[in-house]
Chains A and B, each alone.
Chain A
Amino acid sequence: MNGLLLTTQQALQLLLSGDAELWSIVLLSFSVSLKAILLTTPLALLVAFALNHVNFPGRRIILAFFNSLLSVPTVVIGLFLYVLLTRQGPFGNLRLLFTQSAIVIGQMILCFPVLVALGYAAIQASDRRVWETARTLGAPTWFSILTVFYEVRFGLLAAVLTGFGRIISEVGISMMVGGNIMGYTRNITTAIALETSKGEFAQGIALGMVLLSLAFLLTAFLSYIQGKKEFTT
């Protein structure tokens, strides 16, 4: 118990003293995961919209497929991507293995089904007349889609934040295709794994605290926005 208190104290000191190595790892984590979520969101939401508004054969199956992808373990995505990106793999000549881009791609794959499934649910809850009205008033397709998105913006925001929470906290993909290279692909979660293996628990706990406060902030932000929405409608 004493040891726990002591390591937590050391962890706080590390965070507050602005330990350069620690904060560069935090920054790297955020920049990589932000890239992944920003690149995925437009495409995933369009897919979610299409699944809602376009009736084509196999629609249900695709939806079930995305829903089942929600629980794919990250190491499996990591392994799958590794096999694709290794030098002898089909995309080996792109030389992407052990780069930030590899992590971004992996995290895009990871959050894509989250965004589609939650985005779908959000759009489904919208009033269908929004779309019909926009169309009858002569709005072009892209604008009508944006109107629907605007109507369900809270649900979509929740989807994006959930997706972000999923990828910033994953370790399997980052470790496998990133390689935990200091200053280049070492992010919060792979650093925690490494520091723990070295017995440097304080550094690990400090990084864990960053992740925890992020989770707390995201949740607080979400409930604040949703509370506001209830108040106005």
Chain B
Amino acid sequence: MKKIILVFLLYIFSLGIVPAEPIRLATTTSTENSGLLKVLIPHFEKQTGNVVHVLSVGTGHALRLGQDGNVDVVLVHAPKAELRFVDAGYGVNRRSVMVNDFVIVGPENDPATIRGENDAVRTLQKIALGKHIFVSRGDDSGTHKKELFLWKKAKLKPKISWYREVGQGMGRVLQIASELDAYTISDRGTWLVMRSKLSLKLLAEGDPELHNPYSIIAVNPARYPGINYLGAMSLIAWLTSVEGQNHIRNFRLEGQPLFTPTAVKN
């Protein structure tokens, strides 16, 4: 019996050998799906010799991974939750990295007549008033938090009869909205990637409330001594450097610039 346990332990430990300490980055599906990270990370890896492991999840999930010390650094977009994360001592050295925006999309025939609307609150009120189907992320992501904030601002409580909370990523939600001829709110990046596969149209945009700022935060090394804090800081330094910011500015999706860098002032 002892031998069996010993052999089993040997199995486990032989599995645990990892060559170089990677930087674990938890980030949102929007940065991964838009292809931004596929452009940025290789530049960073080449310049610094680090290896980055990207976990793309919702913002809420990413912050939770940071809180538990399961990743070294998070790149997320939910300012209020980020501040709480830092205040609670889970994260340090929060830097803003870039900004893009949310858009409200819906079916071509637009039964709620929101086309051309530039007031997000009024848009949602119209959708709710007409009881038009609205698909919600429902996954505690940055987009979901923004959507809930807008409902609150519009003084509305979504009703189950027209409100579909699906608990999935942005790409899936856009597909579901497309299948149901429903409205939804999306980050512009995922919308641009997906739009050719959808029967939805961009209907409302441009409200300052729809701004979508991204920040990067290192996980507090005092809470988790073994964490790759230096790696996390080097990623933060690079993303907020003139060079990293230029890569963000030059990133194009279907010919359109997508993110505006915000870390360094010219």
Q: Does B260 contact A (CB under 8 A)?
A: no
- CB-based contact A88/B69 at 8 Å: yes
- CB-based contact A181/B54 at 8 Å: yes
Q: How far is the CA of A196 from the CA of B194 in the complex (A)?
A: 12
Closest Cβ of chain A: how far from B142's Cβ, in Å? 17
Q: Does A179 contact B (CB under 8 A)?
A: yes
- Which B residues are CB-close (under 8 A) to A94? 16
Take A43-B8, A94-B16 as given contacts and tell me if A197 and B171 are in contact as well, using a CB distance cutoff of 8 Å. Answer: yes
Q: Does B153 contact A (CB under 8 A)?
A: no
* Candidates B18, B68, B69, B193; contact of A198 at CB < 8 Å: B193
Q: Does B224 contact A (CB under 8 A)?
A: yes
Take A198-B171, A198-B194 as given contacts and tell me if A87 and B224 are in contact as well, using a CB distance cutoff of 8 Å. Answer: yes
Q: How far is the CA of A88 from the CA of B18 in the complex (A)?
A: 20
Q: Return the CB mask of A175-197 against B: 1 if under 8 Å, else 0.
A: 00001111010000000000011
Q: Which of B16, B71, B168 gathers most chain A CB within 10 Å?
A: B16
- CB-based contact A181/B7 at 8 Å: no
Q: Does A39 contact B (CB under 8 A)?
A: yes
Contacting A at CB under 8 A, from B142-177, are 168-169, 171-172, 174-175
- CB-based contact B194/A87 at 8 Å: no
Closest Cβ of chain B: how far from A57's Cβ, in Å? 15
Q: How far is the CA of A88 from the CA of B64 in the complex (A)?
A: 12
Contacting A at CB under 8 A, from B35-92, are 53-56, 68-71
Q: Does B129 contact A (CB under 8 A)?
A: no
- Which B residues are CB-close (under 8 A) to A182? 54
- CB-based contact A87/B70 at 8 Å: yes
Q: Return the CB mask of A104-127 against B: 1 if under 8 Å, else 0.
A: 110000000000000000000000
Q: Return the CB mask of A215-227 against B: 1 if under 8 Å, else 0.
A: 0000000000000
Q: Return the CB mask of A4-38 against B: 1 if under 8 Å, else 0.
A: 00000000000000000000000000000000000
Q: How far is the CA of A33 from the CA of B7 in the complex (A)?
A: 20
Q: How far is the CA of A181 from the CA of B55 in the complex (A)?
A: 6
- CB-based contact B197/A199 at 8 Å: yes
Say which one of A68-76, A95-103, A134-142, A159-167 lies at the interface with B: A95-103
- CB-based contact B7/A96 at 8 Å: no
Closest Cβ of chain B: how far from A70's Cβ, in Å? 21
- Which A residues are CB-close (under 8 A) to B53? 98, 179, 181, 184
Of all chain B residues, which has the CB nearest A97? Answer: B70
Q: Does B24 contact A (CB under 8 A)?
A: yes
Q: How far is the CA of A136 from the CA of B33 in the complex (A)?
A: 66
Q: Return the CB mask of B11-24 against A: 1 if under 8 Å, else 0.
A: 11001101000101
Q: How far is the CA of A92 from the CA of B226 in the complex (A)?
A: 11
- Which A residues are CB-close (under 8 A) to B172? 196-197
Closest Cβ of chain A: how far from B177's Cβ, in Å? 12
- CB-based contact B171/A87 at 8 Å: no
Q: Which of B4, B55, B71 gathers most chain A CB within 10 Å?
A: B55
30 residue pairs of the A-B complex, CB under 8 angstroms, read A39-B11, A43-B8, A46-B4, A87-B68, A87-B69, A87-B70, A87-B224, A88-B69, A92-B69, A93-B226, A94-B16, A95-B226, A97-B70, A98-B55, A98-B70, A105-B12, A105-B15, A179-B55, A180-B55, A180-B56, A181-B53, A184-B53, A197-B29, A198-B171, A198-B193, A199-B174, A199-B175, A199-B194, A199-B197, A199-B198
Inter-chain pairs besides A43-B7, A88-B68, A95-B18, 7 sampled, C-beta below 8 Å: A93-B226, A96-B15, A96-B16, A99-B18, A105-B15, A180-B55, A198-B171
